[in-house]
Structure 1
Amino acid sequence: MAPQAPPAIKVPKDAELLQAQADLWRHSLYYLTSMGLRCAIKLGIPTAIHRLGGFASLPDLITALSLPKSKTPFLGRLMRVLVTSGVFASADNNNDELFRLTPRSSILVDGVEADEHYSQTSFVLAATSRHYAEAALGLADWFKKDIVGPVPSPFEDVHGATLFDESTAALDEELDELVNEGLAAHDNLGIGTILRECHDLFKGLDSLTDCCGGDGTTARAIAKAHPHVKCTVLDLPKVIEKAPVDGVVNYVAGDLFHSVPHSQAVMLKLVLHHWSDDDCVKILSQCRSAIPSREEGGKVIIIEIVVGPSMGPIMYEAQLLMDMLMLVNTRGRQRAEKDWRELFMKAGFSDCKIVKKMGARGVFEVYP
């Protein structure tokens, strides 16, 4: 059959044409907002505003950050973009513009000792690093490659290294540190909310294993809120050897692909999205083997992003962007509720329920 000529293109009307061009500007240049955010963190702007009492003028910031006065107008242009994107807020005070923190920038303040404050600066710096950007730039070439066997991520394809692996440190030690710090901060943020909103999640448990629990921050929070629960953290030896020994949490060095310590409940918090479906089934199977029957209180607690539009367009966009982050940098993905349920059943579990949806995340109880 002879190829058909493509249909005539429909030229947008004047207003649509101009709007389309402006929209393409926005989408093409969004990376400059990301780089502006990175710049603000590298300069220490959120922390400076906090230390200045929560409000700061441009001259205040120039002085506090030890920047040349000649850069004042340029700093103003950077702040204007970040105010427009909601990172900071501003108000006039006797014709002097003052900048203040918003919830977005408050979690970018470093050096603060406060319950539930987990600075997200490392996450942002890793996400805006040249290594992540180079992996994303290689996305089109990656799609064109016909690969036999497990498909490596674009990050692996470009850099020859895997995130959260010794190969990351060999690639760039600073990136490896940022990635691990960012992962810990990302995972620990919100545990207080979960404990308050899902108090019954840990009720009646006598023991719990937190898989990939890092330094035990989450496990210690659970033990503090529920002293009757004996908490164990399972993580790789290189992580466990740096964990604090305080007697509150028991630490076990190991690999969740091979063995999970026996306990009444096992928790996987923002772990599975890094892995393929096949790998998730292997992990979940180990978790199922580590717990007693449902009648004896056995369950796996899963805390993960649940992709879906129910939380509104902004949260949905954030979930989809996090899925793109997984696509570019790992072999995992973010999943919808249906995908999660299918995965649990494939791993041999009998039932599951969503205890609560909070922001982009959902809290599952999965039963053997």
Structure 2
Amino acid sequence: MAAQTQTIEVPNDAELMQAQADLWRHSLYYLTSMGLRCAVELGIPTTIHGLGGTATVPDLRAALSLPENKLPFFRRLMRVLVTAGVFAAVDGGETERFRLTPLSRILVDGVVADEHHSQRCFVLGTTSRHYVDAAFALSEWFKKDLASPVPSPFEDLHGARLFDESTPLLDPELDAIVNEGLAAHDNLGIGTLLRECRDLFKGVRSLTDCCGRHGATARAIVKAYPHIKCTVLDLPRLVDQAPRDGVVDYVGGDAFQCTVPPAQAVMLKLVLHHLSDDDCVKILAQCKKAIPSRKEGGKVIVIDILVGPSLGPVMFEAQLMMDMLMMVNTRGRQRDEKDWHDLFMKAGFSDYKIVKKLGARAVFEVYP
């Protein structure tokens, strides 16, 4: 019996040209990522800032000590990064000038200012060879019959888990970059949170920042609300690096195994999206044990990504890219409201509310 001939609907001329252009974009987006990494490694955002906020290509070449014969190539790099919104071209005059955008301002390094947390290491971590190699192995990972709990492609390929004691054994430099990038990423926007969610800490007398790393968020809370007694719980290797000046108390321990320090409120900020559903339920249950009843003001504050298309296609795409990042490199995921509801109920909580949506993130109050 002859094989049945397969047919396909052929795009019209306009659709075909658009499809090819879309294919180029999606196949080559990684070059934008590598161009961004190149800009960070060269220090272009920091250099433009140091030159007064705008700079010409010759200014940048001289400041960065680039060979003169690289100028044509450098212009091509900047053109792509301007199109991507990393930098902006300054209008007017014959001299080509570039300025920082909000995106590149958060990539400026070496600046001491309230609420400025340079995202340089976030870029270097997410575009590192270890991350890229894990993504490159994605199709092979899908075909493998792996026992539960299913390791991430990163863990399966490298034999180590991110944010774990095995990471520095894999590559100490990667571990340092990833941890610095994670701290900067998690603390970006804390000032916005404190301004937009003033009632969140109303009546709170004590707070435990669970998995709060070096305590930057807790210290910002104490600065805004000096009456709140803040305690940070995280792994000993992280809290041992924290400043000991009495502003915040630190407890070294594993949130899965040790008792969460009791407080009126416990906060989990950008922690749960790194974890599987089962691990989220375990940590949430531990946090529930640490707080009083709802009548006494007990609550868990969860700040994390809330996936949904309501904020528009660009923000939704960013959320989905972060979900892919979690899938490739951790056992976690980004969650929609039903996912969050299910986690809170499985952990034994009675109710929750969304206090505020801040960009891709949401602030939840979860009640015992």
Whole-angstrom CA distance in 2 between matches of 1:268 and 1:230: 16
What is the TM-score of this pair, normalised by structure 1?
0.98
Partner amino acid, structure 2, of 1:31:
Y
Whole-angstrom CA distance in 1 between matches of 2:279 and 2:116: 32
Whole-angstrom CA distance in 2 between matches of 1:149 and 1:317: 29
Query: What do residues 97-129 of structure 1 show as CA deviations (whole Å, max 9, x unaligned)?
Result: 100000000000000011000000100000000
Shift of 1:93: 4.0
The runs of at least 4 consecutive aligned structure 1 residues that moved more than 3 Å come to 2-7
Aligned twin of 2:365: 365
Aligned twin of 2:104: 105
Aligned twin of 1:214: 213
Aligned twin of 1:268: 268
- Residues 4, 225 of structure 1: CA spacing in aligned structure 2 closer, same or farther, 3 A cutoff? farther
Shift of 1:94: 2.4
What is the TM-score of this pair, normalised by structure 2?
0.98
Query: What do residues 297-348 of structure 1 show as CA deviations (whole Å, max 9, x unaligned)?
Result: 0000000000000111000000000000000000000000111011100100
Where does 1:134-283 land on structure 2 (aligned, <5 Å)? 134-258=133-257, 259-283=259-283
Whole-angstrom CA distance in 2 between matches of 1:120 and 1:212: 20
Whole-angstrom CA distance in 2 between matches of 1:93 and 1:296: 61
Partner amino acid, structure 1, of 2:276:
S
- Residues 187, 10 of structure 1: CA spacing in aligned structure 2 closer, same or farther, 3 A cutoff? same
Shift of 1:18: 1.2
Does structure 1 residue 284 correspond to structure 2 residue 284?
yes
Matched residue count: 367
Shift of 1:148: 2.0
Whole-angstrom CA distance in 1 between matches of 2:211 and 2:72: 46
Shift of 1:6: 6.8
Give SS of 1:90's match: strand
Structure 1: gaps (5+ residues): none
Give SS of 1:115's match: coil
Query: What do residues 196-229 of structure 1 show as CA deviations (whole Å, max 9, x unaligned)?
Result: 0001101101100001111111001101111111
Aligned twin of 1:65: 64
Whole-angstrom CA distance in 1 between matches of 2:51 and 2:57: 12
- Residues 288, 62 of structure 1: CA spacing in aligned structure 2 closer, same or farther, 3 A cutoff? same
Give SS of 1:48's match: helix
Aligned twin of 1:298: 298
Whole-angstrom CA distance in 1 between matches of 2:355 and 2:32: 36
- Residues 17, 217 of structure 1: CA spacing in aligned structure 2 closer, same or farther, 3 A cutoff? same
Shift of 1:15: 1.2
Whole-angstrom CA distance in 1 between matches of 2:362 and 2:196: 12
Whole-angstrom CA distance in 2 between matches of 1:337 and 1:186: 22
Aligned twin of 2:339: 339
Partner amino acid, structure 2, of 1:57:
T
Whole-angstrom CA distance in 2 between matches of 1:177 and 1:218: 20
Partner amino acid, structure 1, of 2:344:
F
Shift of 1:146: 1.0
Structure 2: gaps (5+ residues): none
Aligned twin of 1:39: 38
Query: What do residues 140-173 of structure 1 show as CA deviations (whole Å, max 9, x unaligned)?
Result: 0000111222100000111111000121111111
Aligned twin of 1:86: 85
Aligned twin of 1:75: 74
Whole-angstrom CA distance in 2 between matches of 1:148 and 1:355: 38
Whole-angstrom CA distance in 1 between matches of 2:228 and 2:28: 49
Query: What do residues 78-108 of structure 1 show as CA deviations (whole Å, max 9, x unaligned)?
Result: 0000000000000244210100000000000
- Taking only the aligned residue pairs, the percentage that are identical comes to 73
Bigger mean CA offset, 230-239 vs 143-152: 143-152
Give SS of 2:114's match: coil
Whole-angstrom CA distance in 2 between matches of 1:248 and 1:108: 28
- Residues 237, 20 of structure 1: CA spacing in aligned structure 2 closer, same or farther, 3 A cutoff? same
Partner amino acid, structure 2, of 1:224:
K
- Residues 3, 243 of structure 1: CA spacing in aligned structure 2 closer, same or farther, 3 A cutoff? farther
Shift of 1:4: 8.6
Partner amino acid, structure 2, of 1:28:
S
